[in-house]
Structure 1
Amino acid sequence: MSDLASQRPTRIRVDLDALAENLRGIRRHTGKPVMGIVKANAYGHGLVPVARHLEAQGIDQLGVAFVEEGIALRRAGVRAPILVMGGVYGKQLQDFVTHDLEITVSSVDKLRLAEAAAEAAGRQAVVHLKIDTGMERVGVHSYSCQGLIDAAFASRGCVVKGVYSHLACADDPAHPMTAQQTARFAEACAHVERACARSGAPMPIRHLANSGGVLHFPDTWLDMVRPGIALYGALPDPASNDPIGLKPVLALTSRVVYFKVVRAGATVSYGATWTAGTDTRVITIPIGYGDGWPRALSSKGEVLVRGLRKPIVGRVCMDQFMVDLGPEGTAYNEDEVVLIGAQDGESIRVEAVAERAGTIPYEILTGLNERIPRGYVGG
C-alpha cells in the first residue's frame, strides 16, 4: 500500500483470523478437503494476501476464474494447486501449462487444445472435466459426456485430476433442482468410473458443492467442496442457513469529512431527489460509486455513526455520499463511519447492504475496487 493510499479515510479491513476460522468450520462441517475460491480478487478481499493465508492454513486447492488470476498467484509465490474454472481460450493454454495451472476441459476440442499445449511444453497438462448438469454455462452436457470422458482417459498429454459440475440453485435449501443436478452428476461419474476401470487410472476428485451446497446439501460434498462466499463469512442468499457459525471477514469504514446544517425544504445531492423535512444535520462521507459503493443505495442505505444507524440521503455520488444525522444528531469531522461491519454493539452485514441495494452479497463484495486501500489483521 502506498503512503498516499494509507492516508485515505475510507478503507477495507480484512480479518485473516476470521478467514481461517471459517475454513476450519467448513472442514469440520463437511469432513472434506477444501478448494478455496479466490476469484474476483478473492471476492473483494484481496487475491494474493487471501491466497497466501489460505495456503498457510493448509488449503487443499485454490480456484480462480481466469488464467490471469492464476498467473498472478504463481508470480506471488503461491504454490498450492490452482484450478482455473472459466472457459478455455485456446491462445492462453500455453500459459496454463507454463505456470502449472489446472485446466477446465469441457469438450473434446478443448481437450485437444490442452494436449497440444502440453506437447509444446514437453509435459503433461492437469485437467478437470466439466460436466453441465443444468447450469448451461460451461461444460459438456451430462447426457452426452461419455465421448469426452473416454477421450480424456485415453489421452497421453493430459492427466485427469478432477471431474466437476456447478450447482445453480443450492443457495436455496428448498429448491428441487439441486437434487436433479446431483443425480445427473452421479450418472456422469459412473461413466468416469468405467473409464478408470478400463484405463487403470485412479478415480479423479469429484467436486460439486459450492457455498450453498456446503451449507445445505451433504449429498453434494463428495470428494472435495468449493466454498466461495461462505469462506468470507457471508451467506449466498436470504434463504440460506448457517449451520457453521461463519464470521464476516471484511469490514468497510470511512470518516466524516464535512458537517453542515441543512435547512427545511433544501434538497441534497444530484437530481434534488431528497428534501429535508425540517432543519437537520447532514454529514458527507468520502466514498461513492467510483469505489464500488452502489448508487442503488441512494436514500435507501444505512451506515453506523457513533453506534447508531443513520440513513443515506440523496443520490450516492461518484466519490461521496451524504448521511442525515437528524435534528439532534451529533458527529464531528473525522469520526468513524461504518458501512459494513460493527461499531459499539451494532452491526451492518453485507447481506443487509445487498438487500437494500436490490442485489446479492457477491456483487457488493466484488464491486469494492482497488481505489479502496485494504489492511489485513490477524494471521
Structure 2
Amino acid sequence: MTTPILVLGGIIGNQIPRFLAHDLTLTASSVEKLGQIEEAARQMGVRARVHLKIDTGMERIGVHYYSASSLLEASLTGDHFEVEGIFSHFANADAADQSYSRLQLERFNHVLGFYSSRGISHPPLRHMANSAAIAGFRSSHMDMVRAGILLYGVYPSDDTPRTVEVRPSLSWKSRVVYFKVIQPDHPVSYGSTWRSDHPVRAVTVPVGYGDGYFRSMSGRAEVIIRGKRYPVIGRVCMDQVVVNIEWDSAYNGDEVILIGEAENGAAITVEELADWAGTIPWEILTNVNTRVPRVYKVTADR
C-alpha cells in the first residue's frame, strides 16, 4: 500500500508507535496528542505525518475553534513531525438548512487566518467537506474532500442536492435454502407474530441479525427472488428469515437479493432497508458484518 492513510479518529498514546510503524498519517486533536506523536517519532527515529483537527461545532474531538491557536503554535515547533493538513467536520451538512454549516466554515476559515496573520503558508491539505458537503456546499471543498457514503452510491439525505452522479457500488445477496407450504393459522418465527388465513408458499433464507440484517425490519422488509419482490414474514432471526412467496415458485439455490438490482430492474436500496429498520443508511452499510463473504467484481463499465 503506497497511498497515504489518514487516521481520522482520536488516538491514545500507546497506539502511536504502532501507527507510525505502518506509516499512517495521524490526527493531532490537541497539544497533548501532538506532543505524544512528537515523542514517539523521536524515539523511533522517524518523521510523523499529522493533520490538525479543529472542532468548529461538532463537540467530538479536536481543539475548539476559539482556542485553536495553541495547537497551531505548537505545530510550528516540532522536529519529528510534518503537518500535512488541517481539518474540521460538518455536523449538519445533510440538512436543508445550511446556516450552521456556513457558520462552521466561517469558524474554520477564521482559524486558518492564523497562518496569513503570520505571513506563513497554511498546511497543504485543508479539508472539511463530507459527502453531503461534496454534493451541496462547494465553497467548503478547499484542497481535499472526504467522500464517505457517496462512495457506496448512496446520498446522505433527501435534502442533499443531487449534483454528483453516483451508482450503487454494492449488492447483498443470499440463496433460498428451504421451501415449504404453510397452512392457514400456522404462526411463523419467534413470537408467533405472523400467520396467514390461507395456504402460502414460503422459503427460508440464511441471513439474519447475526449478519447485520436488522431485527427491527421484522414485518417490514422485502427481498427479490426471480425478479419479484416478496415480504419477509415473522421476526427476523439471528441466522434466518422466512419469505412469503404466496403461490409463486422458488427453488433451493435461487438467488435472493437483499440489497441490489435484478436483471429486470426490480431493486431494493440501502435507503429502503434504513427506513424499514428505523435508522440511517450509514448504519445499514456498516453493520453488514464479517460473517458475510465479500466478493469484489471489476467490469469494463463500472
Q: Shorter chain as normaliser: what TM range?
A: over 0.9
1:109 deviation in Å? 0.6
Q: 2:225, 2:271 → 1: CA distance?
A: 19
* Structure 2 gap segments, 5+ residues each: none
1:36 is matched with which residue? none
1:201 deviation in Å? 5.4
Q: 2:233 aligns with which of 313, 323, 329?
A: 313
Question: Alignment partner of 2:295: what SS?
Answer: strand
Deviations 1:90-130 (A, max 9, x none): 01111222221111001111111011011111122111000
1:31 is matched with which residue? none
Give the counterpart letter for 2:257 in structure 1. V
Q: Is the 8 A contact 2:150 2:156 kept in 1?
A: yes
Q: 1:185, 1:375 → 2: CA distance?
A: 41
Q: Is the 8 A contact 1:273 1:314 kept in 2?
A: yes
Decide which structure has greater helix share: 1
Q: After the TM superposition, which parts of structure 1 deviate over 4 Å for at least 4 consecutive aligned residues?
A: none
The within-5 A match list for 1:155-170 is: 155-170=78-93
Q: 1:172 aligns with which of 95, 98, 120?
A: 95
Q: Is the 8 A contact 1:254 1:337 kept in 2?
A: yes
2:258 is matched with which residue? 339
* Structure 1 gap segments, 5+ residues each: 1-77
Question: Alignment partner of 1:249: what SS?
Answer: coil
Question: Alignment partner of 2:142: what SS?
Answer: coil
CA RMSD of aligned residues (A): 1.4
1:364 deviation in Å? 0.8
Q: 1:202, 1:348 → 2: CA distance?
A: 45
1:202 deviation in Å? 5.6
Deviations 1:193-247 (A, max 9, x none): 335x2xx556431000011110110011011111011012111223323222201
My pick for the range that moved more, 264-273 or 328-337, is 328-337
Give the counterpart letter for 1:206 in structure 2. R
Matched, 1:372 2:292: yes
The within-5 A match list for 1:7-26 is: none
Q: 2:196 aligns with which of 266, 269, 276?
A: 276
Deviations 1:20-51 (A, max 9, x none): xxxxxxxxxxxxxxxxxxxxxxxxxxxxxxxx
Give the counterpart letter for 1:324 in structure 2. N
Q: Is the 8 A contact 2:115 2:122 kept in 1?
A: no
Q: Is the 8 A contact 2:112 2:122 kept in 1?
A: no
Q: 2:157 aligns with which of 237, 242, 249?
A: 237
Q: Is the 8 A contact 1:173 1:216 kept in 2?
A: no
2:64 is matched with which residue? 141
The within-5 A match list for 1:1-379 is: 78-195=1-118, 197=119, 200=120, 203-326=123-246, 328-343=247-262, 344-378=264-298
Q: 2:121, 2:25 → 1: CA distance?
A: 18
1:274 deviation in Å? 1.1
Give the counterpart letter for 1:349 in structure 2. T
Q: Is the 8 A contact 2:115 2:121 kept in 1?
A: no
How many corresponding residue pairs?
298
1:281 deviation in Å? 1.3
Question: Alignment partner of 1:333: what SS?
Answer: coil
Give the counterpart letter for 1:92 in structure 2. Q
Q: 2:157, 2:183 → 1: CA distance?
A: 41
Q: 1:264, 1:250 → 2: CA distance?
A: 38
Deviations 1:52-76 (A, max 9, x none): xxxxxxxxxxxxxxxxxxxxxxxxx
TM-score (norm 1): 0.76
Q: 1:97, 1:260 → 2: CA distance?
A: 56
Question: Alignment partner of 1:319: what SS?
Answer: coil
- The higher-RCO structure (CA 8 Å, 6+ apart) is 1
Q: Which structure has the greater CA radius of gyration?
A: 2
Q: Is the 8 A contact 1:283 1:323 kept in 2?
A: yes
